[in-house]
Chain A
Amino acid sequence: MPANLLFIDALLIAACAWLAVGLAGLLAPRNTRFISKTLFPFGAVVGLAVGVVALCSLGNTPETAVLVIGLPDLPFHLRLDNLTAIFALLLGFVSVGISIYAAGYFRKGEGTAPGLLCLEYHVFLASMLLVLLADDAYAFMVAWESMALSSFLLVTTDHRHAEIRRAGYLYLLIAHIGAIATLLSFGVMTANSGDYTFAGMRAQELSPFWASVAFLLALLGFGAKAGLLPVHVWLPEAHPAAPSPVSAMMSGVMLKTAIYGLLRVSFDLVGTPLWWWGVVVLAIGLATAIFGVLYAAVQSDMKRLLAYSSIENIGLIAVGIGLTLIFHAYRMEALAALAMTAVFYHCLAHSGFKSLLFLCTGSVLHATKERSLGKLGGLIHRMPWVAWLALAGVIASAGLPPLSGFISEWLLLQAFLFSPGLPHPWLNMIVPVAAALVALVAAMAGFAMVKFYGIIFLGQMREENLKDAHDAGVWERVGLVWLGLVTVLLGVLPSMVILRLDTATRQLLGTGLADRLQAQGWWMLAPISPERASYEPMVFLAVIAASVLVGRWLVHRLYHGRTRRSPAWDCGYHFQGPRAQDTAEGFSQPIRRIFEFMFRMDRHFPTARDEKPYYSVKVEDHFWYWLYLPVARLAEAISALIVRLQGGRIAVYLLYSFLTLIVLLVVARP
């Protein structure tokens, strides 16, 4: 074996190992102990290997492999280049945390047998790795569909509930629409050459029209998987329906495979991008981000809130891709590299913190059996591990320094600030508006995260039974700590991470940020020049740590022993129980009022004469009524026309065949 094929072989062995772990689950499908304490940790070790191999392979020349399996004339082609390696490393490292957590999470008697769950989970992991490695359309689609199917089965783990089956159906439906669009896009890119390898697609020179068709189809196809507007509706249904490790895997990793696909097509396969593609992606991304963050802010189910937050983050990533496309089309490669680095960074950061948060909701769910924010509260006292680790995730998700989310959003805004150099007056006017909206999204994300964290973990317990809540077990803690570490390291060592990411940027755009960063040293991040903007994460960390410690010391020093506990003046309200706290609905009421036109609300207000007064609000998605229901009605109307053919009379059915026979005989006469 040639030595330079080592990395791709190692990744293939890892994929096979995942499949083997999954199949091993079938040996004893009901033995929860064997599966959770042996197989899932083994899957985590494989994940770690994938991450390390991918990290080591960064910067190497692309490696290829041709498998013996596949169709007779169409074997699977695989390729490992820097873009693949970045996403494989994301998959590997994030799956370590999730697999370890899953070892402690899956219990007896929950939906599907644990052995099947183990199989589905590891097939899901292996197919995601193969999606990243695929180097021809056929292998890609096979892996892509295995990924969709295995994740569908995972989503419907608890298939006894009708709403979960419905969520799974919706997911599968939109996944298939997306897969068809992706397949068509590949078909356009082969340009009738019959060569379905990616190398063949790179070699094709498409006319601008056909290139645009291929790009837009890919945008629809991968957008459906990523959750871009308007094909996002499956995401807030499927994520809450799935078990928490699965939600974490889907939100953290699977959505990124769609981003990978979009990057692969638009920067690698389709040829030189046109500037308006960037504008389209930018606009869709912005709309998605604003939509996602507003809906996240008004949710009162913790997993739905996170699902909408994922939509928002995918929107931000799409904004970055759009900006990269615009800069790249105008040959402003340095700025394109900056925006693309922001895209990669946000992919990594989002995988880390969103998986962390989904796993935290899993622990809360197990401890309290409750998903509704209105029945939680004060859990920091009972679940300190989960609460403090969730805090790390929340800070990163809100885009606050010194954690990972800040870096990527800061890089993205930096890229926006340099856009006045664009040689297009109209774009120059639009782009600052977009930057302002991105800033709005970041702020609103902060709001949503304060709501998420404050209502679940802070304040007083809203229900009696929360007093029995227990903290996460050892396995779960290890998984959470791993993801927390990822989040912190991504926030504290941005320069080192960007130096690694730079290999992929360089591969796609021909230039990167590495030279400037190396000149500055590892502690400082100044993507364009230190005079314009720079960020020193260590300084931030030190200042934050110092102020917290000094504040704590001062409080203890000045007030120690002199704290007096007494009933507060109750303003005449005698009963101030936990119910008097701000609720999830109440907290987000201003957002609901200000952005009322964005929501479709169904509210019920109590009146003075109600025997049992209650307030309820149900927020629904306009897109469901604007886009999906009309399509569904159209389909029903067409089927109603077709169903007339089925009259129920055998004579008529026979007549159909008879007429077909005669017509065919007459038409096909030689």
Chain B
Amino acid sequence: MNTIPLSAQLINLFASVILLLAFAMLAQRRVLQLVNLFALQGATLSVSTLVVAFTTSQHHLYYSAGLTLILKAILLPWILHRLVRRLHVKSDVESLINVPTTMMFGIVLVIIAFNVALPISQLSSTITRGTLGIALATVMLAFLMMITRTKAIPQVVGFLAMENGLFLAATSATYGMPMVVELGIALDVLVGAIILGVFFFQIREQFDSLDIRHMERLKDS
């Protein structure tokens, strides 16, 4: 039997953990737990990148891994925790569609993602190419979370998780993006999170709630 090298097995393992965490986030009803899951996903992503960097001795990936760890596993979850506490978000996460149905949709999306990613990963020559389908699935699941959640904070978490998926896709397809691009994206995500944090306060002041369904009134009529 064809044996797969240990590093590749590790990478696949971490990738599947990320996918599992994406499903967990989709199912999670509590805001603080959601943020914790997001932090865990960021940490896993960082470790996975570290393994890839070690295996392929791509030095810039070490920096990427460190950046991911600081930003996505520590800084952003910390900001989100503070926001949740400052805004006194006590209620559970409300969902437009109930959780089991969402999970069904998620499974369908994973199948689509694997199907779509198959021809692309065949073109790629990296050892991590098997994880491309997982990366795409993570992006789609995060997108699904943004669609189905009605409160603003889970939507932002979904947005950030989508970036995790994109990062994973970049690492698995081409060993990561150029450092400059990566730094730019990291900065974008950070600034985006801060701006959205400001917006949360504005939204709550305006509507006394973070329920984005209130914003339906804002459209032109």
Contacts and interface: CB of A to CB of B under 8 A. Distances in A.
A649 B143 contact: no
Contacts of B112: 662, 665-666
Nearest to A651: B147
Interface string B168-182: 000000000000000
A580 interface: no
Nearest to A665: B116
A483 B116 CA distance: 75
Contacts of A670: 119-120, 123
A655 interface: yes
A657 B217 CA distance: 21
Contact of A650 (B116, B144, B212): B212
Interface in B116-145: 116, 119-120, 123, 136, 140, 143-144
A439 interface: no
B213 interface: yes
Contact of B217 (A648, A650, A669): A648
B143 A650 contact: no
A658 B220 contact: no
A650 B155 contact: yes
A647 B219 contact: yes
B122 to A, nearest CB: 9
Interface string A636-651: 0000000100111111
A643 B219 CA distance: 10
A646 B119 contact: no
Contacts of B220: 643, 646
B107 interface: no
Contacts of A669: 116, 119
A658 B120 contact: no
B96 A648 contact: no
A661 interface: yes
A654 interface: yes
A191 B136 CA distance: 46
A654 B147 contact: yes
A531 to B, nearest CB: 74
A329 to B, nearest CB: 53
B147 A655 contact: yes
A648 B219 contact: yes
A418 to B, nearest CB: 62
A646 B146 contact: no
Point out which of A651, A666, A669 has the most chain B C-beta atoms below 10 A from its C-beta: A651
Contact of B216 (A649, A657, A661, A662): A649
Point out which of B146, B147, B216, B217 has the most chain A C-beta atoms below 10 A from its C-beta: B147
Contacts of A649: 213, 216
B44 interface: no
B216 A647 contact: yes
A658 B147 contact: yes
Contacts of B116: 665-666, 669
B195 interface: no
Contact of B146 (A647, A654, A662): A654
Interface string A76-89: 00000000000000
B143 A658 contact: yes
B148 interface: yes
Nearest to A650: B212
B96 A651 contact: yes
Contact of B143 (A646, A648, A654): A654
B215 interface: yes
B62 to A, nearest CB: 32
B150 interface: yes
B150 A658 contact: no
Contacts of A651: 96, 147-148, 150, 212
B218 interface: yes
A359 to B, nearest CB: 46
B219 A646 contact: yes
Contacts of A657: 143
Nearest to A664: B116
Contacts of B96: 651
A36 B66 CA distance: 68
A670 B215 CA distance: 40
Interface string A103-134: 00000000000000000000000000000000
B215 A658 contact: no
Contacts of A661: 140, 143
Interface string B189-218: 000000000000000000000001101111
Contacts of B119: 669-670
Contact of A648 (B120, B123, B147, B218): B218
B217 A658 contact: no
B136 to A, nearest CB: 8
B146 to A, nearest CB: 5
A657 B140 CA distance: 11
Nearest to A649: B216
**Which 7 A-B pairs have CB atoms at the shortest separation, nearest pair first?**
A648-B219, A648-B216, A654-B147, A665-B116, A670-B119, A651-B147, A658-B143
6 contacts: A646-B219, A651-B148, A651-B150, A662-B112, A662-B140, A670-B123
Given A643-B220, A650-B212, A651-B212, 19 more contacts: A648-B216, A648-B217, A649-B213, A649-B216, A651-B147, A651-B148, A651-B150, A654-B147, A655-B147, A658-B144, A661-B140, A662-B140, A665-B112, A665-B116, A665-B136, A666-B112, A669-B119, A670-B120, A670-B123
